[in-house]
């Protein structure tokens, strides 16, 4: 199998590289045309992104901070909780089309909802949000099919309901872009 493109997974702040390695191998099973690489370089969370009143980080500020310097397709993975201009919280954000995307692990962790840690569920959610934002960087839009990974997640229930895979129609679009 010849890869058509590569995506770098970069820890933004205090995210374990082992988690990114696991994520990269799961992502390659779902999107085999893309080679996922874990960057040894760690990015800092810009301090000006922190909103003390909300105790959250402004994703728009983080995206603006790194958008110009990123030269390779990059998925930032952070543990902090993100919000964006009009949204209380976001699972992730991407330039669409573009090179930069970000996902937050904060609300994918079962601890966030008061449950004990469920590693398989946490990884499944992380893979779904990663695939979703990466597909956005290739220009894919939201899909009306609630089982498709490109369906918009309003809540974690939407994320849990959708599959890790793009639907046939979204997969066709992605493959056409990558070919």
> Looking at the annotation, which residues are catalytic?
133
143 binds Zn ion (CB under 5 A): yes
Q: Taking Cα atoms as reference points, which of 63, 75, 93 lies closest to residue 24?
A: 75
Name, in order, each residue with C-beta under 8 angstroms of 134's C-beta and a sequence gap of 6 or more.
Answer: 7, 27, 31, 34, 73, 75, 94, 101
Q: How far is CA 114 from the centre of its chain?
A: 23
The site string for Zn ion over 103-142 (x = CB under 5 A, - otherwise) reads ----------------------------------------
Instruction: State in angstroms the smallest separation of the CB of 148 from Zn ion.
Output: 3
- Residue that has been written with the tokens 């992104």 in this structure: 49
Which of 15, 131 has the CB closer to Zn ion? 131
Do strands 87-90 and 82-84 pair parallel, antiparallel, or not at all (unpaired)? Answer: antiparallel
Which of 10, 20, 82, 148 is close enough to bind Zn ion by CB under 5 A?
Answer: 148
Which of 10, 30, 105, 170 is close enough to bind Zn ion by CB under 5 A?
Answer: 170
Question: Interface with Zn ion by CB under 5 A: which residues?
Answer: 143, 145, 148, 150, 167, 170
């Amino acid at each position: 199998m010849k890869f058509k493109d590569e995506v770098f997974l970069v820890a933004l702040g205090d995210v374990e590289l082992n988690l990114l390695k696991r994520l990269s191998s799961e992502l390659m099973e779902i999107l085999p045309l893309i080679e996922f690489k874990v960057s040894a370089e760690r990015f800092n969370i810009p301090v000006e992104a922190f909103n003390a009143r909300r105790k959250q980080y402004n994703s728009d500020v983080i995206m603006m901070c790194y958008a110009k310097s990123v030269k390779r397709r990059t998925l930032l993975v952070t543990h902090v909780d993100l919000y964006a201009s009009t949204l209380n919280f976001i699972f992730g954000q991407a330039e669409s089309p573009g090179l930069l995307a970000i996902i937050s692990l904060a609300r994918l962790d079962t601890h966030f909802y008061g449950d004990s840690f469920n590693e398989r569920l946490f990884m499944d959610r992380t893979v779904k949000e990663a695939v979703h934002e990466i597909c956005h960087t290739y220009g894919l839009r939201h899909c009306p099919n609630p089982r498709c990974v490109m369906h918009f997640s309003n809540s974690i229930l939407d994320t849990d309901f959708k599959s890790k895979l793009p639907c046939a129609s979204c997969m066709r679009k992605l493959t056409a872009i990558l070919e």
